[in-house]
Chain A
Amino acid sequence: MAALDILYFAWVREAIGRDGERIDAVDPAVTVADLVGALAGRGGGYAEALGDIERLRAALDQHFVAFDAVIGSARELAIFPPVTGG
């Protein structure tokens, strides 16, 4: 069990109302989808932002990952909409 920093960007950040947070004890075997689902279960802005993972993308330690990736030894999970730069 290790601490995981979670970061939110764009409308995910706005809906949740914060840039990120730290979760102190995360099971390394948990997947990104499991974790996002648990956060969505808090309701309110979390449910609004995280209720539909089809609308989201994720990165573990600054690398894009699929939602079935396990947290493993990662220290940072970012959750955000599909990117729109360029």
Chain B
Amino acid sequence: MTIHSRVGPEDFDPAEELAALERLGGGAVASFTGLVRGGDGLTTLRLDHYPAMTEAQVTRIAAEAASRWPLLGIRIVHRIGTLEPGDRIVFVGTASAHRRVALESCAFLIDWMKSHAPFWKKESFADGRERWVEAKAEDVVKADAWAAFHN
């Protein structure tokens, strides 16, 4: 079981992340890539985080997934700094012997990254408006639902 996580301003290549998971020898790899959504005149999205906590918390989230599913590997990448529409923000990938485990653990990881990792998004628009993205109650519900989920 290998856990690999990275937080930083650099872009990443999903193909490289997937290839690293494929090399682990399982029969199944699943992944999620999150991108900056355009529209409504959005020009930039800034991602702030709590540096002293982020890596530790991402590792805890990955360890939680590893304790719930028989995984061969987890790779998580989360970007920080100023991004534009279409830019990649986050990658979560899992490798396992079977598809159901890979798919479910991947969904768990992105739900928990949204609700349990210390990142904050601020949107800037073409007309000069700026606003901090508000947490969605439905994201907390989705993350909490995993507490009652039996593998």
Contact = CB atoms under 8 A, between A and B. Distances in A.
Interface of A: 7, 9-11, 59, 62, 64, 76, 78, 80-86
Contact of B119 (A11, A64, A84): A84
Which 3 pairs of residues, A with B, have the shortest CB-CB distance?
A85-B119, A86-B114, A82-B135
B110 interface: yes
Interface in B33-86: 34, 47-50, 52-53, 56-57, 78
Contacts of A83: 114-120, 135
B57 A84 contact: no
A33 B134 CA distance: 22
Contacts of B132: 10-11, 81, 84
Contacts of A86: 34, 78, 89-90, 110, 113-115, 117, 119
Nearest to B114: A86
- The interface size bin for chain B is 20 to 34
9 contacts: A59-B50, A62-B57, A78-B50, A80-B120, A81-B120, A81-B135, A82-B140, A85-B49, A85-B119
B87 to A, nearest CB: 14
Contacts of B89: 86
Contacts of A64: 116
Most chain B CB atoms below 10 A, which of A59, A64, A80, A82: A82
